[in-house]
């Protein structure tokens, strides 16, 4: 029987009812298509040696039978589970949530399932248990959205034996990393405010020990120093709008404050609320610049000047990098770990007030 004749039989002469009473398996597909089980396996794994007409015959048999290969069948055939692990921390925040969505989308397009573990704490034992679970599930590779420096160190201690890509961290020069360019973003925000004539720029930083917060703090300070501007003491929030509000109330009482760079948009939202409540005009009295460009930023009053981070690009780039390491591509390009950022100028920043 020729493959083309078999394809016709698969399309017309047989139906799922011929195999009623049990779920069709790979042997059923091979019998109906008139090929070997190995050929069916090659079709499932997109092996280049399979002729197009044979591939179509096998696919037609699968459709006729309603055959869906299980993950275990793919694993036995290819030595892979086609499953990736993702460990995330503080996953409810806009940035990590956007990255995770992009990873899931890109993984699905590449034919992978994603097993995601969201951790509430960054304790070493919790991280180790998450890695052990993903290893037990047979993850082909792992992406860790690890914004805190100590999380990176905990990951390093696990000695994971599958490819690992870490996001928003900088704990280890040997580990593949992808992150937004926080230093450049903070420099652009600070230079923007200085360029508007403000004598200096106050800073509301994120929590100490978070890689992105630390990088933005360092860059804000060095940019002021390079410009010969005074470097005021920073204030520290916890990424929430509530913390921005309470710190904003403190700044609102200071007549010498004319510009504030806030380490994320949620805290900046709280600052805007506090300034409005205190009767301080934005940007007439105080200019405010945030970070991230959350979807609501353009709709705040006034619309928020902020640094845009392409979280979708971070997630997609991380997924591509991980797959290249899983495939062990000798000619795969090295990771471009810094994803560029852009300053989006809106109405919340303006010239320094005349004294």
Phi-psi sector, 138: left (phi>0), alpha (psi -120 to 50), beta:
left
| Same fold for the pair 83-180+311-338 and 182-310 | yes
Q: Any idea which fold 3-78 has?
A: 434 Repressor (Amino-terminal Domain) (1.10.260)
Q: What share of the chain is helix, strand, coil (3-state, %, to 5)?
A: 45, 15, 35
User: Over 50: is that where the pLDDT of 21 sits?
Assistant: no
The pLDDT of residue 252: 98
> pTM of this prediction?
0.76
Which pLDDT tens digit goes with each residue over 147-193?
887 777 777 777 667 888 888 766 555 667 888 999 999 999 999 99
Whether 299 has a pLDDT exceeding 50, the answer reads yes
Paired tokens of 226 = 């390079």
* pLDDT(275) > 90: yes
- Please tell me what DSSP assigns to residue 352: P
Q: What are phi and psi of 2, to 5 degrees?
A: -80, 155
Which residue from 122, 173, 179 is spatially nearest to 150, judged by alpha carbons? 122
CA dist 312 and 310 (Å) reads 5
Give tens-digit pLDDT for 236-247: 999 999 999 999
DSSP 338: E
- pLDDT the model gives residue 106: 93
Mean pLDDT of 3-31: 54
| 203-225 pLDDT per residue, tens | 999 999 888 999 999 999 999 99
Sketch the domain layout of the chain as residue ranges. Answer: 3-78, 83-180+311-338, 182-310
**Which residue has tokens 């037990």?**
136
Identify each DSSP E strand in 219-302 by its residue range. 235-236, 259-262, 287-292
In this predicted structure, the answer to whether residue 332 has a pLDDT above a threshold of 90 is no
Backbone dihedral region for residue 15 (phi beyond 0: left; psi -120 to 50: alpha; all else: beta): beta
**Domain boundaries 83-180+311-338, CATH class:** alpha beta
82-121 burial code (b ≥16 CB/10 A, e <16) = bbbbbbbbbbebbbbbbbbebbbebbeeeebebbbbbbee
Report d(CA 248, CA 46) in Å as an integer: 57
**Which of 37-51, 110-124, 143-157, 331-345 ranks highest by mean pLDDT?**
110-124
Q: What is the pLDDT of residue 178?
A: 87
Task: Name the DSSP letter for residue 16.
Answer: G
Q: What is the mean pLDDT of residues 92-119?
A: 90
DSSP H or E segment with residue 183: helix 182-195
Q: State how far the Cα of 257 lies from the Cα of 245, in Å rounded to an integer.
A: 16
In sequence order, what DSSP letters do the residues of 202-236 get, joined into one string?
EEEE--TTBHHHHHHHHHHHHHHHHHT---PPPEE
Q: What is the pLDDT of residue 354?
A: 87
- Contact between 149 and 211 under an 8 Å Cβ cutoff? The reply is yes
**182-310 CATH:** 3.40.50.2300
């Amino acid at each position: 029987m020729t493959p083309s004749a078999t394809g016709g039989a698969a399309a017309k002469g047989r139906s799922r009812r011929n195999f009623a009473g049990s779920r069709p398996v790979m042997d059923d597909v091979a019998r109906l298509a008139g090929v070997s089980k190995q050929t069916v396996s090659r079709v499932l794994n997109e092996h280049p040696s399979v002729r197009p007409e044979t591939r179509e015959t096998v696919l037609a048999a699968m459709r006729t039978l309603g055959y869906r290969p299980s993950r275990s069948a793919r694993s036995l055939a290819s030595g892979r589970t086609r499953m990736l692990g993702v460990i995330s921390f503080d996953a409810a925040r806009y940035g990590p949530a956007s990255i995770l969505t992009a990873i899931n989308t890109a993984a699905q397009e590449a034919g992978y399932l994603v097993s995601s573990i969201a951790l509430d704490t960054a304790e070493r034992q919790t991280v180790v248990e998450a890695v052990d679970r993903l290893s037990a599930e047979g993850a082909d590779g792992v992406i860790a959205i690890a914004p805190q420096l100590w999380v990176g160190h905990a990951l390093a201690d696990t000695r994971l034996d599958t490819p690992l890509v870490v996001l928003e961290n900088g704990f280890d020069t040997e580990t593949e990393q992808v992150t937004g360019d926080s230093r450049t973003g903070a420099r652009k925000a600070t230079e923007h405010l200085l360029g508007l004539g403000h004598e200096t720029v106050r800073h509301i930083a994120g929590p100490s020990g978070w890689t992105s917060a630390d990088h933005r703090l360092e860059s804000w300070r060095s940019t002021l120093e390079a410009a010969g501007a005074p470097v005021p003491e920073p204030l520290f929030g916890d990424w929430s709008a509530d913390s921005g509000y309470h710190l904003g109330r403190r700044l609102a009482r200071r007549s010498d404050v004319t510009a504030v760079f806030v380490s994320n948009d949620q805290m900046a939202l709280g600052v805007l609320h506090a300034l409005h409540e205190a009767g301080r005009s934005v940007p007439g009295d105080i200019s405010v610049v945030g970070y991230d460009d959350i979807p609501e930023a353009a709709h705040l009053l006034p619309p928020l000047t902020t640094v845009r981070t392409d979280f979708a690009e971070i997630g997609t780039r991380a997924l591509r990098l991980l797959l290249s390491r899983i495939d062990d591509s000798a000619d795969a390009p090295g990771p471009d770990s810094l994803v560029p950022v852009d300053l989006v100028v809106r109405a919340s920043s303006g010239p320094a007030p005349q004294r």
